[in-house]
Structure 1
Amino acid sequence: MATIRARKRTDGSISYTAQIRLFRDGAQVYQESQTFARKQAAQAWVRKREVELDQPGAIERANRVGATVKEMIGRYLLEMAKARPLGKTKMGTLNVIRESYLGEVKDQDITCQTLVEYAVWRMSPEGGAVLPQTAGNDLAHLGAVLSIARPAWGYAVDPHAMSDARKVLRKLGYNMRSRERDRRPTLSELNKLMEHFEGILAYRPSSINMLKMVAFALFSTRRQEEITRIKWADLDEEGSRVLVRDMKNPGQKIGNNVWCHLPPEALAIIQTMPRALDEIFPYSAESISASWTRACKFLGIEDLHFHDLRHDGVSRLFEMDWDIPRVASVSGHRDWNSMRRYTHLRGRGDAYENWKWYQKILLAPVKLGARTLK
């Protein structure tokens, strides 16, 4: 049974509230209502909904309580933590989404329009005025949750909502693709950072040895999370290579273990580390990132990420006339398109051939703090 009631708004205009109530055996089993500005729209909605609700199982689906985006993200984080903790960027992004208004949206209400509205809201002043690329990252991380919410947990998620939303945003002119970074540290910037970290070690010897961390990241082209996972058991000194476990890869992140060649500078740094623990660099990736960020801020070095050391390391090898397969044996890249994003050449030759800090880095003593000892 459906009814349409006209109501006068405070501004004098008329709205039309359409209400559908369904009964079985004298008991009401379903109720739904919507308000429209035009009576014809209300009548069209009633006809459409009555046809939909007449389908087998429609009332049961409509009465389903469902799960919110916040609940789905919470479950995703819990399940993923059992396999391997997520990166801080993805974790932070998902936490922002679930605490936003989108977090209260139910699974069956996630549509292309809902996702487009959220992305546009994120780019507005009210949503944080983020760049389109950041909004695109939001959708990408949320998409990882939605992609398994339906098949793994049975949530009523439209499997086409996310892909349709991305198509709509592209049609609207938003470039949601991540901007390729071409930032590399200059030798002057690295010299300032080394001097800063040397001063910290002189004052606090048991702090993270950022001299060795920074240099190893540059010469090995390894990510900070990968560096902190490397164990002595993963090192093949004779073959000058190391087993990088769970290397980041879009198609396979967990169990993607890759043997990577170590340039002589990187192997030499490893050989100066104490064999006191299972890990070669027994530090926290989060603490390394925080130390790097504080140093750059203190020194006035703008827009330089720790990950840019990987860019610098890959570019350096090409500047030394290494070919693609040889560089890939160090970086772990599987194809040129991926490696190209890390390649930003400045010239020819090894810019670090006579680097004044290299010998200091090798000779720098390592004192492991109480937090790193077992």
Structure 2
Amino acid sequence: MAGFRIEKRKLSSGELRYKCIVREKSQGKIIHNESKTFSTKALADTWGKKRVHELETERVTEKKRTVTLGTLLNMYFEDHDLWNRTGRTKQYVIKMLMDCDIAKIQSNALKVSDVIEHCRNRRDAGASPSTIYHDVAYLRSVMKVAYPVWNIGANYKIFEDAVPVLIDMGLVGKSQKRTRRPTSDELERLREGLQKRMEYRPNGTKRIPYLDILDFSLLTCMRIGEVCKITWDDLNTQHKTVMVRDRKDPRKKAGNHMIVPLLGGSFDIAQRQPKIDERIFPHNPRSVTAGFQRVRNELGIEDLRYHDLRREGASRLFEKGYTIEEVAQVTGHRNLNILWQVYTQLFPHKLHDKE
């Protein structure tokens, strides 16, 4: 049973403070004890009532049906309403977690020490702190929906205590700023390799115009998923713009449409595509990136991702003299600080071109 009391004390300055002490007992023993000090009695009373309600709710939840975390992760995987709205990275992590030792733990019995052990195992296996953070964040998100969706008890609130400890231990952290830009030589070699790949066309497969897509990606700074999604109806031939629908945004994606100018030769690239589909580039983005990666690997080009072309395109626009607001109109960034810090890596020697 949980309850609280408020203690009043006077500071040396004469001001009053109210300390709210919340305790929970079971079979005559204290199983939970916490306190917090406030400037008014009303605030202390409100917090005490709130914490008592939360503790009692947690105890009720613990009595609900429980399953192993592996079963819970699989339930999330099989729920189409949840899974189909989940990004590729999160889907990959959830599938991976199903095979980890942490998946054997009951959903309401997970402890901070279990999370730490999982993170240590992942680190020892070669995962970076930013990658391990995905494990923690996505596991918490699955556990958070366990009760409202399936009436399953899951103590996801332990992550509030776990994350600060994991950060202090260096087991989780933010991803490092990526600065990789392809050199002119690398791009030329990639074009030659992609041209050869276009010439080799297995029977029954649709030919992917790798070179046009590569150059279009560089000029528009679009993600490959956006490139392969735009339609002929989205193209405005009069203004040489295109509507990019549901553009990625940390706050909102659905309905986040944006009109993007087709600079350089990107408009001409779009115009010369055959109109065989409602989409301008009717290809699976994964097939495009897979072909890019095969050619890159064959050429021995290291640490270059297709998404780096987006940073390359943004950096080129800055080097040409476009303002940050103008570049944001192309890249779609709402936060200009992120655009400047993450998506620009200027070549110092390019500054001579401005003289």
The bucket for the TM-score relative to the shorter chain is 0.7 to 0.9
1:101-148 Cα distance to aligned partner (Å, 9 max, x none): 222222212333332221122112xxx221112111222333332343
Aligned residues: 303
Change (3 A) 1:240 1:188: same
Unpaired stretches in structure 1, ≥5 consecutive residues: 1-44, 352-374
Distance in structure 1 (CA, Å) of the matches to 2:98 and 2:29: 32
2:173 aligned to which of 176, 192, 197: 176
Q: What SS does the aligned partner of 1:117 have?
A: helix
Which residue of the partner structure matches residue 252 of structure 2?
A: 252
1:114/1:48 CA distance change after superposition, 3 Å: farther
Is 1:344 matched up with 2:345? yes
Matched, 1:135 2:132: yes
1:64 is displaced (CA, Å) by: 4.0
Aligned ranges 1:79-98 → 2 under 5 Å: 79=79, 84=84, 86-98=86-98
Secondary structure of 1:255's aligned partner: coil
Q: Give the AA of the match of 1:157.
A: A
Partners of 1:143 and 1:107 in 2: CA distance: 11
Q: Report the AA paired with residue 97 of structure 1.
A: L
- Alpha-carbon offset, residue 155 of structure 1: 3.3
Residues 192, 86 of structure 1: CA spacing in aligned structure 2 closer, same or farther, 3 A cutoff? farther
For residues 257 and 107 of structure 2, what CA distance do their matches in structure 1 show?
35
Q: Residue 214 of structure 2 corresponds to which residue in structure 1?
A: 214
Shift of the alpha carbon at 1:156? 2.4
- Judged with a 3 Å threshold, the aligned counterparts in structure 2 of structure 1 residues 161 and 236 are, in CA distance, closer, same or farther, namely farther
Checking the alignment, whether the CA contact within 8 Å between 1:321 and 1:349 is kept in structure 2 is no
How far off its partner does 1:349 sit?
5.9
Q: Distance in 2 between matches of 1:246 and 1:86?
A: 15
Measured in 2, the distance between the counterparts of 1:224 and 1:302 equals: 20
SS of the residue corresponding to residue 264 of structure 1 reads coil
CA contact (8 A) 1:123 1:129 kept: yes
Moved more, 334-343 or 243-252: 243-252
For 2:281 and 2:57, how far apart are their aligned partners in 1? Answer: 57
C-alpha separation in 2, matches of 1:274 and 1:90: 35
Distance 1:91 1:60, change over 3 A: closer
- Distance change in 2, residues 1:59/1:192 (3 Å): closer
Query: What's the counterpart of residue 311 of structure 1?
Result: 311
For the Cα contact (< 8 Å) 2:107–2:143, is it kept in 1?
no
Alignment of 1:1-374 (within 5 A): 48=29, 64-79=64-79, 84=84, 86-124=86-124, 128-174=125-171, 176-204=173-201, 206-339=206-339, 340-347=341-348
Q: Does the 8 Å contact 1:316/1:350 carry over to 2? A: no
- Using the aligned pairs only, state the percent identity: 30
My pick for the range that moved more, 174-183 or 69-78, is: 69-78
2:217–2:309 contact (8 Å) kept in structure 1: yes
- Call closer, same or farther: CA 1:140–1:267 in 2, change over 3 Å: farther
- Cα distance in 2 between the residues matched to 1:261 and 1:129: 42
Go from structure 1 to structure 2 and tell me whether the alpha carbon gap of 1:308 and 1:60 turns closer, same or farther (over 3 Å shift).
Answer: closer
Which deviations, in whole Å up to 9, do the C-alpha atoms of 1:266-322 show, x marking residues without a partner?
A: 222111111110111111111112111111110000010000000101111111111
SS at match of 1:322: coil
Give how far 1:170 is off. 1.5
Report the secondary structure of 1:259's partner residue.
Answer: strand
Do the aligned partners of 1:320 and 1:348 also contact (CA within 8 Å) in 2? no
**Inter-CA distance 60–248: structure 2 relative to 1 (3 Å threshold):** closer
Partners of 1:84 and 1:254 within 8 A in 2:
no
Q: Distance in 1 between matches of 2:181 and 2:31?
A: 61
SS at match of 2:67: coil
Cα separation, partners in 2 of 1:255 and 1:108, compared to 1, 3 Å:
farther
Kindly state the Cα deviation for residue 70 of structure 1 after the two structures are TM-superposed: 2.6
For 1:253, the aligned partner's letter is K
CA contact (8 A) 1:216 1:269 kept: yes
The TM-score with structure 2 as length reference comes to 0.75
Q: Bigger CA drift: 301-310 or 141-150?
A: 141-150
1:209 Cα deviation (Å)? 1.4
CA distance in 1, matches of 2:82, 2:143: 18
